[in-house]
Amino acid sequence: MTQGDAELQSVIHHVKNGWPRYPGQVVDNIKPFYSARDALSTLGKLLIYGNRIVIPVSLRSDILERLHDGHQGIVKCRERAKMSVWWPGISKQIQKRVETCKECQVTKPSQRKEPLITTLLPSRPWEKIAADICEVNKKNYLVVVDYFSRYLEIAHCV
Protein backbone atom coordinates (compact mmCIF):
# COMPACT_ATOMS: atom_id res chain seq x y z
CA MET A 1 0.00 0.00 0.00
CA THR A 2 2.91 2.37 0.66
CA GLN A 3 4.00 2.07 -2.97
CA GLY A 4 0.59 3.29 -4.15
CA ASP A 5 0.39 6.24 -1.74
CA ALA A 6 1.64 9.40 -3.45
CA GLU A 7 2.01 11.24 -0.12
CA LEU A 8 4.25 8.58 1.42
CA GLN A 9 6.24 8.20 -1.81
CA SER A 10 7.00 11.93 -1.67
CA VAL A 11 8.06 11.63 1.98
CA ILE A 12 10.25 8.61 1.17
CA HIS A 13 11.88 10.65 -1.59
CA HIS A 14 12.78 13.38 0.94
CA VAL A 15 13.97 10.84 3.52
CA LYS A 16 16.33 9.28 0.99
CA ASN A 17 17.46 12.47 -0.80
CA GLY A 18 17.24 15.09 1.96
CA TRP A 19 14.58 17.52 3.13
CA PRO A 20 14.41 21.18 2.07
CA ARG A 21 15.99 23.58 4.53
CA TYR A 22 12.75 25.39 5.39
CA PRO A 23 9.22 24.00 5.90
CA GLY A 24 7.84 26.57 3.45
CA GLN A 25 9.73 24.78 0.68
CA VAL A 26 7.79 21.54 1.28
CA VAL A 27 4.56 20.84 -0.61
CA ASP A 28 1.45 21.24 1.53
CA ASN A 29 0.36 17.59 1.69
CA ILE A 30 3.63 16.46 3.34
CA LYS A 31 4.24 19.49 5.60
CA PRO A 32 2.97 17.53 8.64
CA PHE A 33 5.90 15.13 8.15
CA TYR A 34 8.49 17.93 8.17
CA SER A 35 8.60 18.28 11.96
CA ALA A 36 9.11 14.51 12.28
CA ARG A 37 11.78 14.31 9.55
CA ASP A 38 14.60 13.37 11.95
CA ALA A 39 12.68 10.30 13.17
CA LEU A 40 11.75 9.08 9.69
CA SER A 41 13.62 6.34 7.83
CA THR A 42 12.93 3.60 5.32
CA LEU A 43 13.01 -0.15 5.68
CA GLY A 44 12.69 -1.81 2.31
CA LYS A 45 9.66 -0.15 0.74
CA LEU A 46 8.17 0.93 4.09
CA LEU A 47 8.36 4.34 5.73
CA ILE A 48 9.29 4.06 9.42
CA TYR A 49 8.83 6.60 12.25
CA GLY A 50 11.18 5.59 15.05
CA ASN A 51 10.25 1.93 15.47
CA ARG A 52 6.73 2.26 14.03
CA ILE A 53 5.32 1.84 10.55
CA VAL A 54 3.90 4.97 8.90
CA ILE A 55 0.41 4.10 7.70
CA PRO A 56 -0.78 5.21 4.23
CA VAL A 57 -3.82 7.51 4.07
CA SER A 58 -6.04 4.80 2.60
CA LEU A 59 -5.54 2.51 5.62
CA ARG A 60 -5.66 5.05 8.46
CA SER A 61 -9.39 4.80 9.21
CA ASP A 62 -9.18 0.99 9.37
CA ILE A 63 -6.12 1.12 11.64
CA LEU A 64 -7.83 3.73 13.82
CA GLU A 65 -10.78 1.36 14.29
CA ARG A 66 -8.45 -1.51 15.15
CA LEU A 67 -6.68 0.65 17.74
CA HIS A 68 -10.08 1.54 19.16
CA ASP A 69 -11.25 -2.12 19.38
CA GLY A 70 -12.05 -2.94 22.98
CA HIS A 71 -13.18 0.61 23.81
CA GLN A 72 -10.40 1.09 26.37
CA GLY A 73 -10.20 4.87 26.18
CA ILE A 74 -7.82 7.48 24.80
CA VAL A 75 -4.74 6.54 26.83
CA LYS A 76 -4.88 2.83 25.99
CA CYS A 77 -5.52 3.52 22.30
CA ARG A 78 -2.53 5.84 22.19
CA GLU A 79 -0.39 3.25 23.96
CA ARG A 80 -1.40 0.64 21.38
CA ALA A 81 -0.51 3.03 18.57
CA LYS A 82 2.89 3.85 20.08
CA MET A 83 3.79 0.18 19.88
CA SER A 84 3.41 -0.17 16.13
CA VAL A 85 1.91 2.59 13.95
CA TRP A 86 2.16 6.34 13.31
CA TRP A 87 0.99 9.11 11.02
CA PRO A 88 0.83 12.88 11.51
CA GLY A 89 -2.07 13.78 13.79
CA ILE A 90 -2.72 10.22 15.01
CA SER A 91 -3.02 11.32 18.63
CA LYS A 92 -5.74 13.88 17.86
CA GLN A 93 -7.58 11.41 15.65
CA ILE A 94 -7.56 8.81 18.43
CA GLN A 95 -8.91 11.39 20.88
CA LYS A 96 -11.67 12.43 18.48
CA ARG A 97 -12.61 8.79 17.76
CA VAL A 98 -12.89 7.90 21.45
CA GLU A 99 -14.78 11.10 22.30
CA THR A 100 -17.35 10.39 19.58
CA CYS A 101 -17.81 6.73 20.56
CA LYS A 102 -21.06 6.23 22.49
CA GLU A 103 -19.84 3.04 24.16
CA CYS A 104 -16.63 4.71 25.37
CA GLN A 105 -18.61 7.63 26.79
CA VAL A 106 -20.93 5.29 28.70
CA THR A 107 -18.10 3.20 30.17
CA LYS A 108 -15.56 5.94 30.92
CA PRO A 109 -14.82 6.54 34.61
CA SER A 110 -17.27 8.96 36.14
CA GLN A 111 -15.08 10.14 38.99
CA ARG A 112 -13.00 13.20 38.26
CA LYS A 113 -9.43 13.42 39.50
CA GLU A 114 -9.05 15.55 42.58
CA PRO A 115 -6.87 18.62 42.06
CA LEU A 116 -3.69 18.85 44.10
CA ILE A 117 -4.02 21.12 47.09
CA THR A 118 -1.02 23.39 47.40
CA THR A 119 0.31 24.29 50.80
CA LEU A 120 1.22 27.84 51.70
CA LEU A 121 4.90 28.51 52.18
CA PRO A 122 5.68 29.08 55.88
CA SER A 123 7.22 32.40 56.88
CA ARG A 124 10.33 30.83 58.44
CA PRO A 125 12.26 27.51 58.57
CA TRP A 126 10.90 24.67 60.74
CA GLU A 127 7.60 26.49 61.27
CA LYS A 128 5.83 23.65 59.46
CA ILE A 129 7.18 20.14 58.92
CA ALA A 130 6.13 16.80 57.47
CA ALA A 131 7.15 13.52 59.06
CA ASP A 132 6.83 9.87 58.20
CA ILE A 133 8.31 6.53 59.15
CA CYS A 134 9.62 4.32 56.39
CA GLU A 135 11.29 0.93 56.21
CA VAL A 136 14.40 0.12 54.16
CA ASN A 137 16.11 -3.27 54.39
CA LYS A 138 13.98 -4.16 57.43
CA LYS A 139 15.20 -1.08 59.32
CA ASN A 140 12.85 1.76 60.32
CA TYR A 141 13.69 5.41 59.70
CA LEU A 142 12.04 8.66 60.73
CA VAL A 143 11.96 11.12 57.84
CA VAL A 144 11.28 14.81 58.57
CA VAL A 145 11.05 17.55 55.92
CA ASP A 146 10.97 21.29 56.51
CA TYR A 147 8.27 22.88 54.30
CA PHE A 148 10.16 26.18 54.05
CA SER A 149 13.62 25.00 52.97
CA ARG A 150 12.73 21.43 51.85
CA TYR A 151 15.59 20.33 54.13
CA LEU A 152 15.43 16.61 54.84
CA GLU A 153 16.38 14.89 58.10
CA ILE A 154 16.57 11.09 58.37
CA ALA A 155 17.06 9.27 61.64
CA HIS A 156 17.43 5.52 62.20
CA CYS A 157 14.85 4.24 64.71
CA VAL A 158 16.22 1.66 67.11
Which of 95, 155, 158 shows the shortest CA–CA distance to 131? 155
The string of pLDDT tens digits covering residues 52-105 is: 999 999 999 999 999 998 888 899 999 999 999 999 999 999 999 999 998 888
The string of pLDDT tens digits covering residues 9-36 is: 999 999 999 999 998 999 999 999 999 9
pLDDT grade, residue 108 (50/70/90)? confident
Non-local CB neighbours of 76 within 8 Å, separated by 6+ positions: 70
* Topology of the domain covering 6-107: Endonuclease III; domain 1 (1.10.340)
Cβ count within 10 A of residue 158: 5
- Give the pLDDT of residue 2: 78
pTM over the 0.85 mark: no
Please state the rounded mean pLDDT for residues 39-45.
Answer: 94
pLDDT grade, residue 115 (50/70/90)? confident
- Give the pLDDT of residue 111: 65
The ranges assigned to domains in the chain are 6-107, 118-158
